[in-house]
Amino acid sequence: MPRVSATEAASLRYVKQSFWKDALTNHPGVISIAVFVLVVATTFSIITDNFLTVHNLLAVLRQAAPLCIAAAAMTFVITTGGIDLSVGSVGAVAGVLASTAMHGWGVPVLPAIMLALLVGACIGSVHGYLIAFQGIPPFIVTLTSLFIYRGVALLLTEGYSIPIPSDSILAFLGRGWVLGIPMPVLLAGATLVAAYIALNHTRFGRYVVGVGSNAEGVRRSGVSIRKVRTLVYIWSSVAAAAAGLILTARLGSGSANQGVMFELDVIAAVVLGSTSLFGGRGSIVGTILGVLAISMIVNGLILAHVSPYYTQIATGLIIILAIWFNTWLLDRPARRVG
Amino acid sequence: MLRENNGALAPRPRVDMRGITKTYGPIRSLRGVDLSLAPGEVLGLVGDNGAGKSTLTKVLSGAVTPDGGTISIDGEEVRFNNPADARRKRIEMVYQDLSLCDTVDVAGNLFMGRELTRSFAGIPLLAHDAMHERARIMLQGLGIRIPDTHALVGNLSGGQRQAIAISRAISFEPLVLIMDEPTAALAVAEVEAVLEIIRNVSKMGVSVILVTHRLQDLFLVCNRIMVMYEGTNVATPEVASTSLSEIVELIVGHKFEAASARA
Ligand SMILES: Nc1ncnc2c1ncn2[C@@H]1O[C@H](COP(=O)(O)OP(=O)(O)OP(=O)(O)O)[C@@H](O)[C@H]1O
Ligand SMILES: [Mg+2]
């Protein structure tokens, strides 16, 4: 029998697949969450009267906007193999700071917004320094920040909620409509497009994936992985601040209790979207679908008149089932080989 | 020692490492190692597990900073604080653990750290098509057939992964190429291909350091063989004037001698 080398044999064994089969082999997680979103949408369309209306769907999107923005940045953090537990608290500080600056200190609206975002960037820099340069685990660093910044928000407000002028630009960003679409939705859309391009079409995105996959390998390739890690946490905190500002704007006032447990929604959305908690694998499209799934479940359960006491339990159960299914899907290729 | 096996060899060594030391906690990984390498020379590096081969080569590639000793490249003393510094001196290394990203595709790994970009509205975006095209040509040129440069490296076989790590190093057109056990996971035909690559690049003037436990390979491609023992270099015989049994003796025999001498 003629001998064929392993690499030649490999090219003989290579089968060109159709687009859909290709998508299923390369992105099984994203496909499965897409199916899940469809199932959720269909279910609520059937069991409730007004789920599938333009009005309701726009409301869902408007509600989902802050989650989208924070989750887009969290996708980068988790893809490097890290985590950011501080996003809810950082968002609260941003919202409270902007409203206090405007209401209490008489700062004009634009500087107030800039101040909030800048504080976000500073918080992220501290996270990045402690994690990337001092080697403290991200879980510890951002968990302590979760406590610290919630405390800072309480300190700033002394427990009151601080209104923002309803005719300011900030209020418009939270409640305005442009071309029939709510402002927050437009902002979230722009963030997602930017995040998609950054993750898939820039060097930074490539290094984010590389750091999560084999950080030492990327370092040996001459890339400053500390810089990559630091930037990821800066963006996460800035996005959290932006999300907090939009939430404040929508609610009409800054409150130290806004966005409690927000970080869990964000992480759930990202993981639901098939980004790997072990790092090295991330998908912005998956994150969008994860955000949609969570937001639609919350909205649908309300429309279906399920007692609010059950909503959290039901959301949690549905998410763990979806992730279980996803893990099963992602494991399949490995099982085929082994 | 006089050498006259190759008239093209420059009088000055391309790499000259002197008294290199490195300590990891309680372990003195390198206890003053000398290494010199001429342009176009292939130097075999052998020794027991834990002798310090990987540590020494990582020092030269900038991945590990030594505690002491000097490194000169073409007569000029250098300090490498990170792999990027060594790369600037055109020193490339294929690491024992390959340093590939499993969740990145073949082209992405080949171009890691030096991605091609094109400007779109002033933003540099990855030039995916160009990188895949260049990657295909790069692999073809080295006689490596990977069916698809879009395949994730994690899904490739051990030999294919090794081939990619080697192509990656060679594509930087190095002056010094260090290979730490490049043939460990390879079948017979692939080993032959790697040895052929080593012969070719050395003919083009590239200096090669080959770390391997396959002693028979050393006699096929090397000019000299450097034997390491417990963090020191014990001998560096010319291939022409040594034998497999002498090398084995140097690796194993010295162990007993040295141990009894110290006791
Ligand atoms: N990062 C590290 N931390 C602690 N000890 C280390 C480290 N790297 C190497 N060592 C130690 O240094 C010594 C030399 O290791 P090295 O990897 O250089 O050996 P080697 O000759 O390449 O062995 P092998 O043939 O098994 O690859 C070993 O005792 C090892 O345990
Ligand atoms: Mg080794």
Q: Could you report the predicted ipTM of this complex, rounded to two decimals?
A: 0.83
Surrounding residues of ion ligand 2, Cβ less than 5 A: B 54, 96
| B contacts of A219 (beta carbons < 8 Å) | 82-83
In the structure, how many helices (H) and strands (E) does chain A have?
14, 4
| Substitution target from B104, B105, B155 for chain A, most A beta carbons within 10 A | B104
Chain B residues inside the 8 Å CB shell of A13? 147
State residue A209's pLDDT score: 97
Contacts of residue A81, defined as CB under 8 A and 6 or more positions apart, other chains included, come to A211, A212, A215, A278, A279, A280
A255, A270, A31: which is closest to A153 by C-alpha? A255
pLDDT per residue as tens digits for the range A97-140: 999 999 888 889 999 999 999 999 999 999 999 999 999 999 99
Q: How far is B41 from chain A (nearest CA, A)?
A: 25
Q: Which atom of ligand 1 is nearest to the CA of B52?
A: 18
Burial of B75 (0-12, 13-18, 19+ CB in 10 A): exposed
CA distance B64 to A303: 61
pTM of the prediction?
A: 0.85
Beta carbons within 8 Å of A195's beta carbon, 6+ residues apart? A72, A73, A75, A76, A284
Q: Where are the domains of chain B?
A: 15-100+174-261
The span from the CA of A170 to the CA of A277, in Å, is 34
Q: Is the dihedral of CA B201, B204, B206, B211 positive or negative?
A: positive
Residue B131 has a pLDDT of 95
| Residue A19, pLDDT score | 65
Query: Which of the residues in chain B have pLDDT under 50?
Result: 1-10, 255-256, 258-263
Distance from the B166 Cα atom to the nearest Cα atom in chain A, whole angstroms: 13
pLDDT of residue A70: 97
Cβ atoms < 10 Å from Cβ of A179: 5
Return the CATH class of domain B15-100+174-261: alpha beta
- Tell how far CA A307 is from the center of its chain: 27
Name the closest ligand to CA B56: 1
Cβ A136 vs Cβ A82: under 8 Å: no
Cα–Cα distance measured from residue B263 to residue B256, given in angstroms and rounded to the nearest whole number: 10
- Amino acid identity, position A38: L
Separation CA A183–CA A278 (nearest Å): 34
Single-letter amino acid code for the residue at A170: L
Q: Is B233 in the pocket of ligand 1 (CB under 6 A)?
A: no
Which residue, among A213, A227, A276, A331, would best test binding to B if mutated, counting the most B CBs under 10 Å from its CB? A213
How many C-alpha atoms does B239 have within 13 Å on its Cβ side? Answer: 18
Determine the residue among A13, A196, A207, A214 to mutate to test chain B binding: the one whose Cβ has the most chain B Cβ atoms within 10 Å.
Answer: A214
Q: Which of B254, B262, B226, B250 is nearest to B46 (CA)?
A: B226
Q: How far is CA A46 from CA A34, A209, A295, B232, in A?
A: 19, 40, 17, 76
**For position B4, what pLDDT does the model report?**
44
- Give me A301's structure tokens: 């359960």
Distance of residue B99 Cα from the nearest chain A Cα, in angstroms = 4
What pLDDT score was predicted for residue B245?
Answer: 85
Distance CA B170, CA A138 (A): 37
> Which of B93, B99, B115 is the closest to A206 by Cβ?
B115
For residues B127 and A202, give the distance between their C-alpha atoms in angstroms, rounded to a whole number: 9
CA atoms within 13 A on the CB side of B156: 29
Q: Do A10 and B103 touch (CB under 8 A)?
A: no
B232 lines ligand 1 (CB under 6 A): no
Spatial distance between the Cα atoms of A267 and A273, rounded to a whole number of angstroms: 10
Contact across the interface for B145 and A216, Cβ inside 8 Å: no
Which residues of chain A fall below pLDDT 70? 1-26, 326, 329-338
Of the partner residues A8, A212, A213, the one whose CB lies closest to the CB of residue B145 = A8
The strand pair at B224-229 and B68-73 is best described as unpaired
Q: Which residues contact A237 (CB under 8 A, 6 or more apart)?
A: A84, A86, A87, A90, A120, A121, A123, A124, A127
**Nearest ligand by distance to the CA of B50:** 1
Ligand 2 midpoint to CA A333 (Å): 31
Q: Can you count the helices (H) and strands (E) in chain B?
A: 9, 12
β pairing state of A177-178 and A181-182: antiparallel
Q: What pLDDT was estimated at residue B239?
A: 85
